[in-house]
Amino acid sequence: MTYDVQQAHKWRSDTLRLLHPKHLENEKAKSQLRDSSAAIDAVAKHHAQMLDQDILTDLLRPMELPVHSQFLLELTQIYTIAGRLSIRLWSQRPSVACRFLHQLAHTPFDISSGILQAHALYKLDDPSDHSLDGRLTKILVHPALLTCGTHEAEHYDRQQVLAKAVVWLEG
């Protein structure tokens, strides 16, 4: 299947802007924004409860009711913030992507890499220190964060690194 990348990104951002019309001031848009926000809240609450019931009860020690209620409230807030941030990110024209271990594992480290950065415990303060060059990534501490495209929905073939991947290396 082939498609126009530029048009696909426009469709993505425009669709989310229509579903969550924060930029419009009329009553219909305000009503849609309230409905969209309520849907995010409901999904956040549902997923927080599911995580609590299905997974966390087996991993965490039992909590007293007030502590558990506060924990569940804070977990719900985390999901809500993530949902709202997701809408804000994906309604923008530029596309955001992460590069994880399976994508970076076979990329040899180089001190001048635009995407990899050795963990601070390696103490690589000198940009001319090539002692770790050529080693492969063993552990990904922080994924790389990239963006492509512009607010004018152009240049999706160009990537910009917003944050380098922080890595532990083999050997």
The number of domains in the chain is 2
pLDDT of residue 56: 84
Shared domain check, 71 and 139: no
Q: Which of 55, 72, 90 is the last residue of a domain?
A: 90
Shared domain check, 113 and 132: yes
Q: Read off the pTM.
A: 0.74
pLDDT of residue 135: 97
Shared domain check, 103 and 30: no
* pLDDT tens over the chain, length 171 residues: 898 888 999 999 999 999 999 888 899 999 999 999 999 999 999 999 999 998 888 888 888 999 999 999 999 999 999 999 999 999 999 999 999 999 999 999 999 999 999 999 999 989 899 999 999 999 999 999 999 999 898 999 999 999 999 999 998
Nearest of 13, 157, 8, 154 to residue 89 by alpha carbon: 13
- What is the side-by-side order of every strand in the sheet holding 159-163? 95-99, 144-148, 159-163
Q: Are strands 165-169 and 116-118 parallel, antiparallel or unpaired?
A: parallel
Domain that holds residue 50: 5-90
pLDDT of residue 133: 97
Q: Which of 90, 117, 144 is the last residue of a domain?
A: 90
Outline where DSSP puts E strands in 52-136.
Answer: 95-99, 116-118
Shared domain check, 106 and 84: no
161, 96 Cβ separation under 8 angstroms: no
